[in-house]
Structure 1
Amino acid sequence: MRKLLFLIFLFLPGILYAQKSTISGYVKEASSGEGLIGASVYVKELKTGNVTNTYGFYSLTLPTGKYTLVFSSSGFKKSEQEVVVAAKPQEISVELVADSQELAEVIVKARANDENVKGIEMSVNKVDIKTIRKIPALLGEVDLVRAIQLLPGVSTVGEGASGFNVRGGGVDQNLVLLDDAPVYNSSHLFGFFSVFNPDAVKDVKLFKGGIPSMYGGRASSILDVKMKEGNAKKLEVNGGVGVIFSRISIEAPIVKDKASFIVAARRSYIDVLAKPFLTGNNANSKFSFYDLTAKVNYTINSKNTVFMSGYFGRDVFGTGFGFDWGNTTLTTRWNHVFSNKLFLNATAFYSNYDYMLDSDIENKRPNDAFKWTSNIENFSIKPDFTYYVRPDNTISFGGQLLSYDFTPGKANATSNGEKREFGQANKQGVEASAYIGHDWKISSRLTVQYGVRYSHYDYKSLNGEYYDRIPVAVSTENPSGYLLKINQTDPDAVVASYGNWEPRFALNLTGNESSSVKLSYNRLVQYIHLMSNTAASTPLDVWTSSTNNIKPQIVDQLALGLFKNFGPDGNNYESSVEVYYKDMENQIDYADRANLFLNPYFEKDLLFGKGRAYGIEFFLKKNVGKLTGWASYTLARTERQIEGLNNNEWYANRYDRTHTLNLVGQYSLSDKWSFGANFAYITGVPYTVPAQKYVFDGIAYPQTIPGTRGNIRVPDYHRLDISATKKNKKALFGKGSSEWVFSVYNLYNRKNPLSIYTRPNEDNSVQTEAVQLSIIGSFVPAVTYNFSF
């Protein structure tokens, strides 16, 4: 009861304020009918306003009287309307027309001119999809995940690694959402391309810190990707033909201005192009990927809109064997306006990530075969409410029920006709959470956002067995110093439960119209874990639950930032400096020679401890003119202290990058030609290589010093990419628009190493040698044809 009274008191300022009347509605794009995210609705006379939510909805509660409302969004012409606020609530929706001149100049900016200064958000990057399209990319293909790696605080362990790392966190510590459904592997082709089709993406937002209370479940960041809703006005076709794959998207109204759809598809054709050149055992080689993204929406009336969206993608790889992996998501959503002040977004989703490895996919050797499968599956219901008390006061609250079904790894092996099944036991988890948050503009200079989230997790072992870790002496057989004791239980019994409060707080103190200081704190709790003892995650890595042995990861992050805009109109340039510190509990590392794959007792090979990450990020962005772009520099450190490793002393984690520099630029020479370039420099990641050897039968075998971590660093990574875009007068069938994109990835032929390994010397087997592994060792030219009509 005391906790409840405390929460009521905490949020009391937003509840006790009585208002006269409310204006609400939607701000949409005139050409397509899509809702505009973050559009500004400003009241001239009161010098106050609000911004639209993810669906373009806004609400303003104002004293009665006559006012001028200004509706605006970057890249669109402003719209002004005079309104009379009376006692009766009103619905006013507008459609904004694209400003062709502004679009030609404003390349990077995708929000209000001064939102980075006046907005409460910090450690947040929102990158317009138009900007992403202009960044030079591998093989000329626009890639969302590679684009965000050019932002401060974001990196990857190297080419050929899936996912991305944020402020020293692992790839599993990023919650990647596609229309609210989690995507567990965001990469195609072993990390070279992302699963997001740019033709179907509407909005991209990355939270590195200051995370609102509505988000939870991961310990490092949130990448929130929203799909287009489909053109509700007319048929629109977009696509492209590239060196490695082609894509197409079709969107059109089902019922004009009420219902629409979008379908987008991609398919690589490396296998088709290579097939004539493959002979013998390689004739049936398979290496391709494809995905399908679709969404449909229906506006029932001004108070109710329903959406349904889905994604299905798969990678196929193999020569004489089968190896494939992929994601499936399905999201249904209902938007309901209870009143001019209360908005509901109710979401239900399904998500599945699975992989399969089959040694006899063509069933030619049924008596000598091996098949391995694994997956993680989610079902969820999630209501989110927003209550607009007044323009400077908003309360959000809601909850989520999320189920996990883990199949960490099941294998069937057949040898000489004898079959054997082995692997890890299936697990199940249920995560329930509730949250409340309050955005409050206390004065013209001070804005706060605070809230709290509570999460609870239950773990079940579905085979009726669970394990307790028993400490033993460290030995060759037990390098972790633990054994597992098998216990029996009812498969329906909860083996372990965890509950955590997750407070959130952010503050913006504005100095003047062009500068501000921001402070944020958040606690994040993660109940699921990716088991991978390699620097670069692979599709075969295993997702598993928190158990009685594996505690949930808990991360507290504090960040402080200075934000400043300047230039002739006050906002031509954006700049920021942020410092952060992350304290991490229950971090996981692995004993030497840990066996994670298909090992039912892998928990005995896990080691636990704490971590810390800290750094400073500099960001400078030019928004307008012929030359636009940004520069970012990050100085950072991420470390772990794990009992049983590195003499129990702190060591640099495998995601540690001391220096990260990114330069991104786009230059518009004319209406016909534009150019782009980006340069990346990153300190090499720590790596553990054998520091000693033993010789047996005249051959040297490398050997690591037990417990050693990160004794060397991979050489520094740097790369320059360039591109040129030529716009054509006409597109296909003489309609619409088209362009040619010419690009070169890794212009100066840098062989950036992904890893280093040791082996016996080819000329002298008693000696060992270190070898660098580079995934891309040369420049990669490409040409892509894009069209739209």
Structure 2
Amino acid sequence: MRKRKFYLFLFCLFLFVQIKAQQIYTISGNIKDAKTGEDLIGATIYIKELTIGTITNAYGYYSLSVKAGTCTIVVQYLGYDPQEQQINVSSSLKLDFSLSEQVTQIKDIVVTSRRKDENITQTQMGMQKLDVKEIESIPVLFGEKDVLKTIQLMPGIKSSGEGSSGFNVRGGASDQNLILLDEATVYNASHLLGFFSVFNSDAIKSISVFKGNEPAEYGGRLSSVLDIRMNDGNNQNFWVSGGIGLISSRLAIEGPLVKDKGSFIISGRRTYADMFLKLSNNEDLDGAKLYFYDLNAKGNYRINDNNRVYISGYLGKDKLGFSQFGIDWGNSTGTVRWNHLFSDRVFSNTSIILSNYLYKINLDIGDVMDMNVISRIRDYGIKQDFQLFSKNNSAIKFGFNSTYHKIIPGAITSNGGLNIEDLSNKYAWGNAFYISHQYQLSDKVDIEYGVRLSMFSLLGGGNFYTYDNEGNIQDTATYSTNEFVKTYVNLEPRISVNFLLSEKSSVKASYARNTQNLHLLSNSTSGNPTDLWIPSSNNVKPEIADQASLGYYHNFRKNQYELSIETYYKKLQNQIDYKDGAQLNFNDNVESEILFGDGRAYGFEVYLKKKYGRFNGWISYTLSRTERKLDEINNGNWYPAKQDRTHDISIVGMYDLNKRWSLSASWVYYTGNAVTFPSGKYEIDGKTMYLYTKRNAGRMPAYHRLDLGVTWIRKKTDKFESSWSFSIYNAYGHQNAYTISFRDNEDNPTKTEAVQTSLFRFIPSFTYNFKF
């Protein structure tokens, strides 16, 4: 009997030990930069003995499930010294790590948020990530480092034109790109009519571009998402940095609010081109204004291990004025975020978001008339995201967002006796719910799938019109304030699959549907500050895009080189074009000027990048077509969209001569945009009139340009850094066409001659940068 009890005791003890050994616990925490306290996005954490791992999310948080026992946890981040720590897991643990930058690197550019083989292992395709150091190394116009100019050197992303910050992604129009700054929408991302972007590189932490295959948490645009996150600031020490350039200067201040718990950053920038105008003897330029400024600010505070708050904002404004005419425009955004850990496996982010874009036109004719025109689009939004780390091979994201839109297309004031009515305001309410699941089916196959349910409602009050095919009013309905006029509901499925062929290569396939309910009306390719946003309505249906993609990815020479080849086909519905001679601005019946039809875009992209070493850079090539089909245009046949380009090539190179001197160069070539040129002319009352037949049947001349840059690090210590950057934009002075107009030949009026306008030939620039 005693023996039975003894054996029963041993059996229970053995069973307890086995159960204990199989118990699953969670290791979680944050990965930071030891010097600045900044969260590291995409850092790798894995268990050496179990060959399992994960990466940190957008806030530097990770969660990993392991069995009880002793194991070695390894933390790595490219450009930083790795850390190893042996731990005995007998309960769930919270482990934070602070990594230090490697001091053996020749150049800071190798410090990036990407794993060496991320392009092979990640499930997401059609995505590009940029490091801020890369942006700082590439020569651009006037020496001003520019996010939007840099992404235009990537495959599938095309510049809208010379000097423009607008861009087109895989055949999409410029308004089909969702641009986010700390989750707030930026409606006009350009300064000085497109020659600069609104993003100051001193204030930027990370940049991600999704080319139409974005995860389910993003939505609202057809072609791409540009997700930009601002720096959190240094929570260890105070730093001041900035630069003095040829036409602009910038300054940034960052430091701890409470060391190790909170930090802030304030960054500002201003151009002073207007100061040079004052030196001119031209009386027509007296009182002229031509400048922009922007201000970024962000603060964060860690309340405790489970709660952290962020507050960030942006304010930017352009001012352009000559004599009696002036126009100014600008963006302002604000985001309040709360990170909360419900448990070590459930991560939550709650955001309250404000976005505002405004332009104002002033016409002042002395005592005769003073008229102001104001147009605005303002958003108030709330966004809730959850991330569930259920298992090491499974992660679930779900949440919702809700945004109230107020659009003022034109509010007009005048003291000159003019009786001008304001345009009708537009109100809309957009909501979306999403869920996505990333799952590792096997050692070779990863899948990410999800769905987004979008709901968009046009709200009253006022009169709402229905138009026939000729643009005549068919019906009028009156709605009270906030009454539902029209609601659209769309389901947007997405799926991406990654097949690992080996440690060095993979094949990916994806499908995504996107819908868009805010539309920009513009007759220009690059866009203007006065372009008008309108919501979907009883006349304007949501735009829809279905995109399928297939890609091959390969790394070689120990991940030093990466190669990607992607092909895509995009089917488009409810695409917008315009009637001949359409009046888009200050027209209360602007919807009667719009035409609707189908579209298609397809292409082939190649990207070869050398990532490390004294010489690095990339080559990108895109072969593509973008077409539209509307019953009222070109006899209902397919015709090129205005953003259609056949070939687009970018070559970027950066070379370190030594620790103090580095060289950089970029060369771009692309086929000219599709345009509508006159096919004939006639005369009415002595005035030449031009005849236009087929839409976008002509082409602008091909564009090409070489930019060169040199950086000299004058001094670099632990407490002070200074450097000089020199660059030449369009180094060989090619006169690229900005516009082409037509006129009668002076000697023979029966002949017509084309006149090309070019903007820039040689543009040298220099900038002095400092940090202390």
- Out of 352, 357, 369, the residue aligned to residue 348 of structure 1 is 352
Aligned to 1:439: 438
Q: Is the 8 A contact 2:332 2:356 kept in 1?
A: yes
Deviation of residue 765 (structure 1)? 4.3
What CA deviation, in whole Å up to 9, does each residue of 1:711-753 have, x standing for no partner?
210000100000011111258xx95111111100000111111
- Residues 524 and 554 of structure 1 are in contact (CA less than 8 Å); yes or no, is this contact kept in structure 2? yes
**How far is the alpha carbon of 1:278 from its aligned partner?**
4.7
Q: Which residue in 2 is equivalent to 1:788?
A: 771
- Native 8 Å contact 2:44 2:54 kept in 1: yes
Whether contact under 8 Å (1:209, 1:559) holds in the other structure is no
Q: Does 1:452 align with 2:432?
A: no
Per the TM alignment, residue 758 of structure 1 is displaced from its structure 2 partner at its CA by: 1.9
Say which of 720, 732, 753 aligns to 2:706. 720
Are 2:758 and 1:774 aligned? yes
Q: Which residue of 1 aligns with 2:395?
A: 394
Match of 1:740 among 724, 732, 743: 724
Residue 226 of structure 1: CA displacement?
0.3
CA distance in 2, matches of 1:624, 1:127: 14
Cα 1:106–1:274 change in 2 (3 A) is closer
In the other structure, the counterpart of 2:486 is 496
Q: Which moved more, 1:208-217 or 1:89-98?
A: 208-217
Contact 1:117 1:510 in 2 (8 A): yes
Contact kept, 8 Å, 2:183 with 2:335, in 1: the verdict is: yes
Measured in 2, the distance between the counterparts of 1:431 and 1:80 equals: 47
Q: Residue 478 of structure 1 corresponds to which residue in structure 2?
A: none
Three-state SS of the structure 1 residue aligned to 2:385 is: strand
Structure-to-structure mapping, 1:27-66, within 5 angstroms = 27-66=31-70
Secondary structure in structure 2 of the residue aligned to 1:422: coil
Deviations 1:333-375 (CA, angstroms, capped at 9, x unpaired): 0000110000001111100001011012xxx625323321111
- For the residue of structure 1 that corresponds to 2:243, the secondary structure is strand
Q: Output the amino acid matched with 2:361.
A: L
The aligned runs of 1:751-762 (5 Å cut-off) are: 751-762=735-746
What is the aligned counterpart of 2:326 among 322, 326, 332? 322
Q: What is the CA distance between 1:279 and its match in structure 2?
A: 4.6
Residue equivalent to 1:241: 244
* Whole-angstrom distance in 1 between the partners of 2:172 and 2:674: 14
Query: How is 1:298-309 mapped onto 2 (pairs within 5 angstroms)?
Result: 298-309=301-312
1:537 aligned partner: 527
DSSP 3-state at the match of 1:401: strand
Q: 1:601 to 1:621 in 2, by over 3 A?
A: same
Matched-pair contact (CA < 8 Å) for 2:79–2:110: no
| SS of residue matched to 1:139 | helix
TM-score using structure 1 length: 0.93
Q: What is residue 214 of structure 2 aligned with on the other side?
A: 211
Deviation at 1:586, TM superposition (A): 0.4
1:679 maps to a residue whose letter is W
Matched residue pairs, number? Answer: 750
Contact 1:698 1:765 in 2 (8 A): no
Change (3 A) 1:108 1:758: farther
User: Aligned AA for 1:721?
Assistant: D
Deviations, residues 236-289 of structure 1 (Å, cap 9, x unaligned): 111000001000100010111111100000010111132132553421000000
Aligned with 1:359 (options 355, 363, 387): 363
**Within 5 A, what are the aligned runs for 1:287-686?**
287-320=290-323, 321-360=325-364, 365-413=366-414, 417-462=416-461, 464-472=462-470, 482-483=472-473, 485-567=475-557, 570-686=558-674
**1:547-595 residue CA offsets vs partner (Å, 9 max, x unmatched):** 000001111111000000001xx20100010000111110000000000
SS of the aligned residue for 2:632 comes to coil
Distance in structure 2 (CA, Å) of the matches to 1:757 and 1:681: 23
Aligned pair in 2 of structure 1 residues 103, 44: CA closer, same or farther (>3 Å)? farther
Return 484-493 or 709-718, whichever deviates more: 484-493
SS in 2 for 1:273: helix
Query: Is the partner of 2:418 in helix, strand or coil?
Result: strand
Letter in 2 for 1:788: K
Which residue is equivalent to 2:11? none
Q: 2:256 and 2:394 mapped to 1: Cα distance?
A: 36
Distance change in 2, residues 1:698/1:766 (3 Å): farther
Residues 753/279 of structure 1: CA separation in 2 closer, same or farther (3 Å cut) = closer
CA 1:759–1:484: 2 relative to 1, 3 Å: farther
Residue 140 (structure 1) aligned to one of 139, 143, 148: 143
Match of 2:94 among 91, 94, 100: 91
- Closer, same or farther: CA 556–108 of 1 in aligned 2, 3 Å: farther
Could you tell me which amino acid in structure 2 is paired with residue 290 of structure 1?
Y
Taking structure 1 as reference, are residues 387 and 278 closer, same or farther at Cα in structure 2, changes over 3 Å only? farther
The structural deviation recorded for 1:763 is 4.1
| Amino acid aligned to 1:428 | Y
Give the 3-state SS of the residue equivalent to 1:748 in structure 2. Answer: coil
Deviations 1:189-219 (A, max 9, x none): 1111111110110000000032100001111
> How far apart are residue 701 of structure 1 and its match?
2.2
Q: Is 1:191 paired with 2:194?
A: yes
- SS of residue paired to 2:279: helix
| Preserved contact between residue 699 and residue 760 of structure 1 (Cα < 8 Å) | no
Aligned residue in 2 for 1:5: none
CA displacement 1:486-508 (0-9 Å, x = unmatched): 33232332111000001010000
1:545 partner letter:
P
Going from structure 1 to structure 2, the CA distance change for 1:718 and 1:344 (only over 3 Å counts) comes to: same
SS for the counterpart of 1:131 is: helix
1:83 is displaced (CA, Å) by 1.6
Q: What amino acid is aligned across from residue 451 of structure 2 in structure 1?
A: V
Identity fraction in percent:
44
The 5-angstrom pairing of residues 116-127 of structure 1 reads 116-127=119-130
Distance in 1 between the 2:152 and 2:583 partners?
A: 31
Q: Which residue of 2 aligns with 1:3?
A: none
C-alpha contact 1:105 1:624 (8 A) present in aligned 2 = no
**Do 1:738 and 1:786's aligned partners in 2 also have CA atoms closer than 8 Å?**
yes
Give the Cα–Cα distance (whole angstroms) in 2 for the partners of residues 365 and 222 of structure 1.
Answer: 46
Residue 265 in 1 paired to residue 253 in 2?
no
Higher mean alpha-carbon deviation, 152-161 vs 179-188, is at 152-161
Alignment partner of 1:419: what SS? coil
2:174–2:526 CA contact under 8 A, matched in 1: no
Contact 1:105 1:626 in 2 (8 A): no
- Is contact 2:308–2:339 with CA below 8 Å preserved after alignment? yes
Aligned partners of 1:76 and 1:97 also within 8 Å = yes
Is the Cα contact below 8 Å between 1:699 and 1:766 reproduced in 2? Answer: no
User: Is the alpha carbon distance of 1:760 and 1:162 closer, same or farther for their aligned partners in structure 2, counting shifts above 3 Å?
Assistant: farther
CA RMSD of aligned residues (A): 1.6
Residues 465-512 of structure 1, C-alpha deviation per residue, up to 9 Å, x if partnerless? 00101234xxxxxxxx65454332323321110000010100000011
Deviations 1:12-66 (A, max 9, x none): xxxxxx9711010000000000100000001111111000001100000111121
Where 1:74 maps in the other structure, the secondary structure is coil
In 2, are the aligned partners of 1:213 and 1:436 still within 8 Å (CA)?
A: yes
CA distance in 2, matches of 1:491, 1:456: 19
How far the C-alpha of 1:423 sits from its partner, in A, is 4.6
Q: CA deviation at 1:106?
A: 5.7
Gaps of 5+ in 1: 1-17, 473-480
Structure-2 change in CA distance of 1:68 and 1:735 (3 Å): closer
Asked whether the equivalents of residues 639 and 697 of structure 2 are also in contact (C-alpha less than 8 Å), the reply is: no
